[in-house]
């Protein structure tokens, strides 16, 4: 009799655990990120920047991040299908311009409804590829774009209702204040700062549509110190999620 009671209790416990598991809400699938980085022939610590950006994303618990130091991964349209968003931190490929197939794949990837997040000097990556500048919304052009000495400056939230910047306050950061980024296409500006170098209010975070896809351009991020600013980290995490999905989950 005692053995029968023990067995009955065990069966009841197993059934209870099964029911609790079946009723528990499933965690949302992680957003698949392809972070493309590579040798910066300028003065940026590119591995430090890419690793810090990866840490920011992974730390939210929302992203599964694959880092590639070879931009020629873009030559494989099949590989790109595995990702929801491309985060781009590379600058100036040593082998020159991106091959035609890789260019086409990147554009088609975003046009087809995926996300693209370009950060800091990465908009200068391919100076001869005009459509890359259109994809980025604005691009750094050598000897035209620029900045004053790196310093602490104030950034202003230009759109307090967009899901990327909603709830954020104006903030200060120690970084390079990029100015005179080039381009004439329509962009939606989220964050600005007043540049002493250009004597103008400069867009530092903005978004745009590209085909069915979404693009976020973040001009912050000269190094790890710059990326440690809390609001910059929020912009990176929220911006990557928005580029991938079109929304931000709080």
Return d(Cα 247, Cα 152) in angstroms, integer: 31
pLDDT confidence of residue 25: 61
Return d(Cα 233, Cα 95) in angstroms, integer: 31
pLDDT confidence of residue 9: 47
pLDDT confidence of residue 11: 46
Q: Give me the phi and psi of 22, to 5 degrees please.
A: -65, -30
Q: Is residue 121 part of a domain?
A: yes
Q: Is residue 14 part of a domain?
A: no
Q: Is residue 24 part of a domain?
A: no
pLDDT confidence of residue 132: 95
Q: Is residue 158 part of a domain?
A: yes
The answer to whether the beta carbons of residues 236 and 53 sit under 8 Å apart is yes
Provide the CATH number for the domain around residue 227: 3.40.50.880
Q: Give me the phi and psi of 42, to 5 degrees please.
A: -95, -130
Q: Is residue 21 part of a domain?
A: no
Q: Is residue 75 part of a domain?
A: yes
Return d(Cα 82, Cα 209) in angstroms, integer: 21
Q: Which residue range forms the structural domain that includes residue 185?
A: 30-245
Q: Is residue 15 part of a domain?
A: no
* Mean pLDDT per 10-residue section of the chain, whose length is 250 residues: 51 50 68 88 80 97 95 94 94 71 97 97 91 97 95 98 97 98 97 98 98 98 96 98 94
Q: Is residue 188 part of a domain?
A: yes
Q: Biggest alpha carbon distance in the chain?
A: 90
Domain count, the chain: 1
Q: Give me the phi and psi of 134, to 5 degrees please.
A: -65, -40
Q: Which parts of the chain are beta strand (E)?
A: 31-36, 63-68, 85-88, 115-119, 151-157, 171-175, 188-195, 200-210, 213-218
Per-residue DSSP letters for 110-134?
A: HHTT-EEEEEGGGGGS-TT-HHHHH
| DSSP for residue 28 | P
């Amino acid at each position: 009799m005692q053995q029968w009671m023990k067995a009955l209790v065990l069966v009841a416990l197993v059934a209870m655990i099964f029911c609790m598991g079946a009723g528990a809400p499933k965690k949302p699938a992680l957003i698949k990120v392809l972070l493309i980085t590579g040798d910066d022939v300028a003065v940026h610590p590119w591995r430090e920047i890419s690793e810090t950006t990866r840490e920011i994303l992974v730390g939210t618990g929302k992203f599964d991040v694959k880092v590639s130091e070879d931009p020629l991964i873009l030559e494989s349209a099949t590989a790109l299908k595995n990702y929801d968003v491309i985060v781009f931190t590379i600058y100036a490929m040593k082998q020159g311009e991106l091959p035609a197939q890789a260019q086409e794949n990147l554009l088609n990837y975003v046009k087809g409804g995926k996300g693209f997040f370009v950060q800091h000097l990465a908009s200068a990556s391919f100076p001869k590829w005009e459509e890359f500048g259109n994809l980025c919304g604005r691009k750094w052009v050598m000897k035209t774009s620029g900045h004053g000495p790196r310093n602490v400056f104030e950034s202003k939230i230009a759109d307090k209702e967009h899901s990327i910047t909603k709830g954020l306050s104006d903030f200060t950061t120690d970084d390079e204040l990029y100015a005179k980024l080039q381009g004439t296409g329509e962009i939606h500006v989220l964050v600005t700062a007043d540049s002493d170098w250009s004597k103008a209010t400069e867009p530092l975070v903005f978004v745009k549509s590209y085909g069915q896809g979404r693009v976020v351009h973040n001009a912050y991020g000269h190094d790890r110190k710059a990326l440690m600013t809390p609001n910059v980290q929020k912009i990176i995490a929220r911006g990557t999620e928005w580029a991938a999905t079109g929304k931000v989950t709080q």
